[in-house]
Amino acid sequence: MIRLLLPAVLAVGCAALHKSPPEVAAQPAPAAVAAPSPDIGSPLVSVLTNVGRMVTLPVDEQRAEVVRLTDNFSRSGLPSDRLRLALLLVLGDPAIRDNERVKGLLEVEAWNDLAYETLARLALDLVDERRRHARDRLDASAALDEERKLREDLEARLHAVEQIETEMNTREVGGGDASQAEDPLR
């Protein structure tokens, strides 16, 4: 559920950034001039928009953003900077993800804003879900290794039985005349 909810929240934030005022929408924007960004009323929309933009950047630029946000947060201590950094570390490229750091950033904060707290809980839930998934994957890998070893052991036993059977057949075929000579009733 978290996987579905968090991208939807980010999409809403990004959509708010890309809406243009009605009078601008009626006129086509010149190719060289970017459309002005709308007035964003909620700080949460600003955070979501910013993070939505950052997670689409190449990994090197995401790393640079992590450094920049870390510096901003250490200087300002603003909850919005804390949340931006944590969201980039949880939603960014797998090469920059840092679940432990996200937990450290989000679990210690006493959020004054319900929207920030909700988003922080969603990010923490995503971290926990990824941990469970990784643990399940390790458990499945261990079970697969056990099954593989059991199969190899069974194949080795089967091969040993086939060799014994082959040796017995060889003895019967090669020694059949000698056994008839010893036993006159045959």
- Per residue in 76-119, pLDDT tens? 888 888 899 999 999 888 899 998 999 988 887 777 888 888 88
**Mean pLDDT computed over every residue of the chain:** 78
Give me the pLDDT at residue 85, please. 92
Task: Tell me, yes or no, whether 126 lies in a domain.
Answer: yes
Could you tell me which residues come within 8 angstroms of residue 83 by beta carbon, excluding any fewer than 6 positions away? 47, 106, 116, 119, 120
Question: Please, are residues 84 and 50 in contact by the beta-carbon 8 Å criterion?
Answer: yes
Task: Tell me, yes or no, whether 174 lies in a domain.
Answer: no
Q: With pLDDT > 90 as the criterion, what percentage of the chain qualifies?
A: 31
Task: Tell me, yes or no, whether 169 lies in a domain.
Answer: no
Task: Tell me, yes or no, whether 185 lies in a domain.
Answer: no
DSSP-assigned letters across all residues of 24-82: HHHSPPPTTSPPPPPP---HHHHHHHHHHHHTTS-HHHHHHHHHHHHHHHHHH--HHHH
Mean pLDDT to the nearest integer, 148-158: 93
Mean pLDDT to the nearest integer, 57-68: 92
Task: Tell me, yes or no, whether 122 lies in a domain.
Answer: yes
**Judging by beta carbons within 10 Å of its beta carbon (0-12, 13-18, 19+), is residue 117 exposed, middle or buried?**
middle
Reported residue count of the chain is 186
Give me the pLDDT at residue 47, please. 83
Give me the pLDDT at residue 29, please. 47
Mean pLDDT to the nearest integer, 146-162: 93
Task: Tell me, yes or no, whether 66 lies in a domain.
Answer: yes
Residue span of the structural domain in which 76 resides:
2-25+35-138
Give me the pLDDT at residue 30, please. 47
What's the domain count of the chain?
1
Task: Tell me, yes or no, whether 180 lies in a domain.
Answer: no
Q: With pLDDT > 70 as the criterion, what percentage of the chain qualifies?
A: 72
pTM over 0.85: no
Give me the pLDDT at residue 111, please. 76
Task: Tell me, yes or no, whether 74 lies in a domain.
Answer: yes
